[in-house]
Amino acid sequence: MKGTIISAPEFQADDHYLIRIKTDVETAAPGQFVTMKIGSTLDPFLRRPFSIFDFNDGIFDVIFQVVGKGTKILSNYKDAEIDILGSLGKGFTLKENSRVLLIGGGAGNAPLYYLTKKLKEKNCDVTQIYGSRSKSLIYCKDRYCKESDAVIFTTDDGSEGTKGFVTDAAASLLEKNSYDMVYVCGPKPMMRGLSPVIERSGIPCEVSLENYFGCGTGICYGCTIRTKEGNRRVCTDGPVFNADIIDWNIL
């Protein structure tokens, strides 16, 4: 499918950009993703997967971090058209009239923005913990603060919000407050550290895994993981899973 880039990649934070792409897609769920073929040559060969930061009337907003050749090309993309597939995968379960806690780390905060918007449409009270290594890496701060009822920022170096990790902030909130649902997206070490904290709370939790996808459509099996319920393909069975089926020791 061809998408039309309606705004050039916009700088948001150190090495982070936002790109807006108009498509014929009618619906997209929070937690789903898109894949894009960057460039017209075989280098880079594979499509690149990206979380959906926002979606409205066929327009995908995507936040991406420059980490390699493909995303470097995308940050300087000049063409009006781009090859895009989406929306793909299994998204988050949306609660209604509930008190929810969202926990994101780094690039894992991206899908939580669209999730927040949809949860607010369902009359949920939303608190988000936004974790980052440093203030310079926090993107779209004003947009997160506008949509959520409360946003707690944590940074490894203390340059924004509370100095420390999201695990500490989450443990404090879960001890003091009651929630109906927890949603998590971030690097595996962060989610592994959060697992016992959330398990002790007894609150249902969904996690979005950040595995790299070869095809994004379940054909290559390159993103397969072992779970307590057997092997699962992250791109089609996920990327969102119930946290209680994940064995963080073997992931």
pLDDT in tens, 32-76: 999 988 766 555 667 788 999 999 999 999 999 988 877 888 888
- Spatial separation of the C-alpha atoms in residues 88 and 195, rounded to whole Å: 26
Mean pLDDT of 122-136: 97
Least confident interval from 32-41, 108-117, 127-136: 32-41
The predicted pLDDT at position 39 comes to: 63
Q: What is the pTM of this model?
A: 0.92
**DSSP string across 182-218:** EEEES-HHHHHHHHHHHHHHT--EEEE--PPPSSSSS
| CATH placement of domain 99-210 | 3.40.50.80
230 CB burial (10 A radius; 0-12, 13-18, 19+): exposed
Mean pLDDT of 84-90: 90
**What is the DSSP-derived secondary structure letter of residue 3?**
E
**What is the DSSP-derived secondary structure letter of residue 93?**
P
> Where do the domains of the chain lie?
2-88, 99-210
Superfamily of 2-88 according to CATH: Translation factors (2.40.30.10)
Mean pLDDT of 151-178: 94
